[in-house]
Amino acid sequence: MNPYMRRLRQRRAAQQSSGFDNSVLDTLATSVILVGADGRVEAINLAGETLLEASASRAIGEPLSEILQLSDEWITLLHQAQSEDFPMVRRGIIMILRSGHQQTVDLTVSPLHGDETPKLLLELAPIDRLNAISEGENLWQAQASLRQIIKGLAHEVKNPLGGIRGAAQLLSKELPEPALSEYTDVIMEEADRLRTLVDRMLGPREQLNKRPCNIHEITERVTQLLAAETLGAIDFDRDYDPSLPEFEADPDQLLQVMLNITRNAWQAMPNDSEGVITLRTRSRRQYTIGGNRHKLVCAVEIIDNGPGIPDELLPGLFLPMVTGRANGTGLGLSIAQMITNRHGGLIQCQTEPGRTVFTILLPMEV
Ligand SMILES: Nc1ncnc2c1ncn2[C@@H]1O[C@H](COP(=O)(O)OP(=O)(O)O)[C@@H](O)[C@H]1O
Ligand SMILES: [Mg+2]
């Protein structure tokens, strides 16, 4: 008997007592769980088994709290649905399984009538945590507004900064006591520091110096530089599409993009881990970036097996100053995104513990 059929039979046997007809529910992509008034699972459909990493034969009869960690938010929601006898919906709630795996889901809890204390029907739809930021068009728009804001801010900051620095310099020459120039030095140094920061937020000043590029020459350069920097601590896997044609781009700036992303991957690796970074190149046909449809797009994926990006960083991952490291500047990804945008391209990211993928999409106008 094939494994699927065997699983189906086991499920049927386990659920016979619940009197729940699963043949329809099993065809749903949404996970459905029926929880009795006593908090025990009475039925679960196939999608639910997969999502909750629990077979029906194991789950049925168990308290729901044995299958997933019922946080206060979950408990309140379940109680409310039961006591108010009204369906509750919660979008983007975190579900933590007993195994520790986390998943963000849209949850609907519907009380089933007929009993004094209603049973609860839970519908769970997993959401790709990164949908929000990997949705190409949204991300493109957000980046465009961000560039405007940074430009405006930089202008407003740099003008008075020039004045402050100039005044401090004049003042230092007029000081009666040379020792006082310690103070004017601080003003000038800090003004310079701010100016450098603002300049870096603006991204590389140089215009793109486009010429025909072979993407694999750039990825190979990344592996060489990183291997030297990390003293060989990282294993590089290459998965190249050798048929990718050359295309017009600025190879130095693209090198910067890939170095920023690859360095982050390395920095995120625990010291004793077997860090592997995979560089994967592919072409994508008929792909739209920022409203422009391209016949051919080059996709460079930088994949690492590190711990993944913390949830709280995700919404602002590509913003300047967003960092998870004590001595980080939070500029690496912002600059990488800016350079890629200048090429008409986009960087997307997907992450989970053990697998983080940054995808650099570059139009190939050949
Ligand atoms: N591959 C990755 N794995 C885990 N965390 C990452 C990864 N890439 C980026 N991050 C997180 O994103 C943050 C922002 O990166 P970045 O913009 O380069 O700034 P910085 O490196 O200066 O902190 C990092 O501090 C890190 O917390
Ligand atoms: Mg960085």
Residues forming beta bridges with residue 105, ordered by sequence position: 93, 126
Q: State mean pLDDT over 241-255.
A: 96
Q: How confident is the model at residue 23 (pLDDT cuts 50, 70, 90)?
A: confident
**Residue ranges of the domains in the chain?**
3-127, 133-201, 211-363
For ligand 1, is residue 325 a contact (CB within 6 Å)? yes
pLDDT of residue 1: 64
| CA 34 to ligand 2 center in whole angstroms | 46
DSSP 133-161: HH-HHHHHHHHHHHHHHHHHHHHHHHHHH
* pLDDT tens-digit series, residues 165-197: 999 999 999 999 989 999 999 999 999 999 988
Distance 309 CA to ligand 1 centre (A): 7
The Cα–Cα gap between 271 and 295 comes to 42
Q: Go through 23-50 and write b for each residue having 16 or more CB atoms within 10 A of its CB, e for each that does not.
A: eebbeeebbbbbbbeeebbbbbbbbbbe
Contact yes or no for 254/218 (Cβ under 8 A): yes
- CB of 265 closer than 6 A to ligand 1? yes
For residue 107, list its beta bridge partners. 90, 124
In CATH, which of 3.10.50.40, 3.30.450.20, 3.40.50.1820, 1.20.1060.10 is domain 3-127?
3.30.450.20
Q: Does residue 366 surpass a pLDDT of 60?
A: no
The number of CA neighbours under 13 Å toward the Cβ of 32 is 17
Q: Which atom of ligand 1 is nearest to the CA of 320?
A: 17
In terms of Cβ atoms closer than 10 Å to its own Cβ (0-12, 13-18, 19+), residue 182 is exposed
Confidence of residue 115 (pLDDT cuts 50, 70, 90): low
pLDDT, position 302: 98
Q: What is the pLDDT of residue 42?
A: 92
- Testing ligand 1's pocket by substitution, the residue of 269, 323, 359 carrying the most ligand atoms inside 8 A of its CB is 323
Pick among 3.40.50.2300, 3.40.50.1370, 3.40.190.10, 3.30.565.10: CATH of 211-363: 3.30.565.10
Residue type, 42: E
d(CA 52, CA 48): 6
**Is the per-residue pLDDT at 43 higher than 80?**
yes
**Contact 264 CB / ligand 1 (< 6 Å):** yes
Token pair, residue 90, equals 């919660």
- pLDDT at site 14: 66
Nearest CA to ligand 1 atom 6: 309
Q: Interior CA angle at 74 toward 72 and 78, to 5°?
A: 115
Q: Which of 148-152, 282-286, 357-361 has the lowest mean pLDDT?
A: 148-152
Among 304, 327, 333, the mutation site with the greatest number of ligand 1 atoms within 8 A of its Cβ is 333
pLDDT band at 364 (very low <50, low <70, confident <90, very high): very high
